[in-house]
Structure formats: structure tokens, C-alpha cells
């Protein structure tokens, strides 16, 4: 049987139309992959909250819309190490595409649970000292991120400009927190090199902060409060107690987010900006880059804030 050219063309056009409908129907029915991101935070205080705010804003700016193409699982240990370990275990068990870890303990807890899922840190002082990476220039692990380590010499210079008569600087901190210990050691070295004296008092419980500050205030000319989770959460108590003596002692905080109550001034980095940079790193990783090849990013500038 002969098929006319007209009938042949009609059959071909019909097949093309059917194929097009099938193609679009198939792709329309295919579910869009929804990214799963987890945010694990060490504790609740202003610096860490600012970092998380920056992360979430940065994700939105990068096109990750919560409830659309991404779900975000937020978990906070509120400073409890045991709870932090449990939360990290639960997050890894849920197999997210990426984990943000805010604070050194959170990053360590997550890294202990997985070497496969990418971890992007924020508000972490020294990744290498925390054994999260092989080096900060070439992490070589599933961890990378942004650091809150600042130039201690610049911080000492700013403090001296602000309080030129302050010779002895007092520091209260929690020695159990690695990032805080690194920060305090760096500040002490820089202050000593600048001809200042540093008195350090370890603090292990929140109830000890105010009485220790009252006693210590007689020995120092000013307090420097590091970005220690324990101290940051109770900075107003420290600053208030430091003023309760015959010669009121001013408190300088190491983060603008700690500028509360009678705190005299704050030095430090922009934690929200650091969080946004962490989100930018995450976008690179979700695009296919290995976290082990992404260097740790450091803050570019130190700011001073006076109320």
C-alpha cells in the first residue's frame, strides 16, 4: 500500500507532538530535589546568633529559599556538651546535604560523627588547633568555614587608644573552651609585647563571674572579655560587678554583639558578615567543590564600637 507524502508528514508531526507532550509531562512530574541543610549551634548568645543570622541571610541571597528548594534543621545545645553530642548524632543520622556548625564545640561534635557530610563552620577561632582541618590553607577534611580570629595586636592597640592609662588588663575566661583559650593566649602575647600586663582568672561556672569580677577589679585597670561562650552569655554581670568598687573598672568586650548594659566598648569582627561568608562557602560546596580544598576565611577588619 502506497503512503502519500501528506500522510507521512501528518504521522511524523503527530509523533513529534506526542513525544513533546510525554517529555514535558515526565519533567513536570519529576520532583525537584530539595536540599536539606542543618545548623548546629553551640550555645545561645549574641555573637553566635549573629553568625546564624548571617548564614540564613546568605543562603537566601544565594537563592536557597526555605520551604522551597531547601529545608533547614536548626538545633542548639544551649551550652550543654552532652546535648551537643546527641544533637550532632541526630543531625548526621538524618543525612543532610550540608551541616553548618556555629562555634568550635559544635564543629568538633559534628566532625566526630561524620567524615563524609560537608561541614561549614562559623565563629571558630582556630580550626587547626581544634583538629578540624590539616591546615587552614588546605583543610584536607570535610570541614571548612570562616574564622573569628582577629589581629590581637590591633585589638591591644585599639584598647590602649581607648584607655591610655590602663596598664594591667584583667581577663576572665572558661579554660575548657579551646577557642577562648587560643584567643586569650593571643591577646596576652600581644599585650605583653606592647608593654602591658595581663592578669588571667579561669572561670568554670556562671555564678562565679560576678564575685570574681568584684575581687579582680581591685587588681586591674580594665577588663577584656573574650568571645567565650560562658562570659559572653553573662557579660552584663561581669561589667556591672567590675564597676562596684571604689575605683570603677571598665569592661571592653571582644565582640560588638557583647556591647550590653554597662560594657564600656567593644572590639571585634562582624559576626553576621562572617556568617554570610560561610553561606557563600556552602554555595560553592553545594555546587560541587570539595570542602577540603577551600581555605578557611578570616575576618578582614577589626571594628571598635562605643555606645
**φ and ψ of 238, to 5 deg:** -65, -50
Beta carbons of 159 and 135 less than 8 angstroms apart:
no
User: Rounded to whole angstroms, how far apart are CA atoms 86 and 101?
Assistant: 14
Work out the burial of residue 207: count CB atoms within 10 Å of its CB; fewer than 13 is exposed, 13-18 middle, 19 or more buried.
Answer: exposed
Specify the residue for cell string 553545594.
286
Work out the burial of residue 44: count CB atoms within 10 Å of its CB; fewer than 13 is exposed, 13-18 middle, 19 or more buried.
Answer: middle
Tell me what pLDDT residue 167 has: 96
Best CA proximity match to 133, nearest among 300, 299, 291: 291
Number of neighbours of residue 136 by Cβ within 10 angstroms:
18
Residue, of 148 and 91, whose pLDDT is higher: 91
Chain mean pLDDT for the chain: 89
> Same CATH topology for 35-149+271-301 and 152-268?
yes
**φ and ψ of 115, to 5 deg:** -115, 5
Query: How does pLDDT run across 36-90, given as a tens digit for each residue?
Result: 999 999 988 888 999 999 999 999 999 999 989 999 999 999 989 899 999 999 9
Query: How does pLDDT run across 167-223, given as a tens digit for each residue?
Result: 999 999 999 888 899 999 999 999 999 999 999 999 999 999 999 999 999 999 999
What's the CATH class of domain 152-268? alpha beta
Residue, of 12 and 35, whose pLDDT is higher: 35
Interhelix angle 235-242/209-216, nearest 10 degrees = 30
Angle at Cα 158 formed by Cα 196 and Cα 211, nearest 5°? 65
Tell me what pLDDT residue 8 has: 45
What does the radius of gyration of the chain's CA atoms come to, in whole angstroms? 26
Query: How does pLDDT run across 115-133, given as a tens digit for each residue?
Result: 999 999 999 989 999 999 9
Strand ranges in 139-254 using DSSP code E only, listed in sequence order: 143-147, 168-173, 197-202, 222-225, 251-253
- Among 62-66, 89-93, 141-145, where is mean pLDDT lowest? 62-66
Query: How does pLDDT run across 10-33, given as a tens digit for each residue?
Result: 544 455 455 545 444 444 433 457
Instruction: Reply yes or no on whether the pLDDT at 95 is more than 70.
Output: yes
Domain boundaries, the chain: 35-149+271-301, 152-268
Q: Which CATH architecture best describes the domain 35-149+271-301?
A: 3-Layer(aba) Sandwich (3.40)
7 pLDDT band (50/70/90 cuts)? low
Best CA proximity match to 39, nearest among 67, 70, 69, 74: 74
Specify the residue for cell string 581577663.
171
Contacting residues for 10 by C-beta, under 8 A, at least 6 apart: none
Is 0.85 topped by the overall pTM?
no
SS3 call for 36:
strand
Residue, of 25 and 305, whose pLDDT is higher: 305
Amino acid at each position: 500500500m502506497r503512503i502519500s507524502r501528506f500522510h507521512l508528514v501528518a504521522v511524523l508531526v503527530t509523533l513529534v507532538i506526542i513525544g513533546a507532550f510525554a517529555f514535558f509531562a515526565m519533567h513536570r512530574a519529576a520532583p525537584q530535589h530539595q536540599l536539606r541543610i542543618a545548623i548546629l549551634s553551640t550555645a545561645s548568645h549574641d555573637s553566635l546568633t549573629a553568625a546564624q543570622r548571617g548564614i540564613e541571610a546568605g543562603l537566601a541571597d544565594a537563592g536557597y529559599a526555605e520551604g522551597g528548594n531547601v529545608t533547614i534543621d536548626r538545633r542548639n545545645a544551649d551550652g550543654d556538651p552532652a546535648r551537643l553530642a546527641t544533637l550532632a548524632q541526630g543531625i548526621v543520622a538524618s543525612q543532610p546535604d550540608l551541616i553548618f556548625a556555629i562555634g568550635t564545640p559544635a564543629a568538633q561534635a559534628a566532625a566526630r560523627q561524620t567524615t563524609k557530610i560537608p561541614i561549614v563552620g562559623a565563629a571558630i577561632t582556630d580550626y587547626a588547633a581544634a583538629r578540624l582541618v590539616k591546615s587552614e590553607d588546605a583543610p584536607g577534611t570535610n570541614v571548612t568555614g570562616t574564622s573569628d580570629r582577629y589581629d590581637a595586636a590591633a585589638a591591644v592597640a585599639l584598647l590602649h587608644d581607648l584607655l591610655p592609662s590602663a596598664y594591667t588588663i584583667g581577663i576572665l575566661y572558661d579554660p575548657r573552651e579551646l577557642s577562648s583559650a587560643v584567643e586569650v593566649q593571643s591577646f596576652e602575647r600581644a599585650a605583653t609585647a606592647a608593654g602591658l600586663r595581663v592578669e588571667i582568672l579561669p572561670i568554670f561556672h556562671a555564678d562565679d563571674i560576678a564575685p570574681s569580677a568584684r575581687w579582680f577589679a581591685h587588681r586591674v585597670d580594665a577588663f577584656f572579655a573574650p568571645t567565650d561562650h560562658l562570659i559572653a552569655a553573662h557579660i552584663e554581670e561581669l561589667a556591672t560587678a567590675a564597676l562596684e568598687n571604689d575605683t570603677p573598672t571598665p569592661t571592653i568586650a571582644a565582640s560588638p554583639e557583647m556591647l550590653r548594659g554597662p560594657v564600656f566598648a567593644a572590639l571585634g569582627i562582624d559576626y553576621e558578615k562572617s556568617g554570610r561568608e560561610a553561606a557563600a562557602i556552602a554555595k560553592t560546596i553545594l555546587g560541587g567543590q570539595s570542602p577540603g580544598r577551600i581555605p578557611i576565611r578570616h575576618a578582614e577588619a577589626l571594628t571598635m564600637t562605643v555606645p
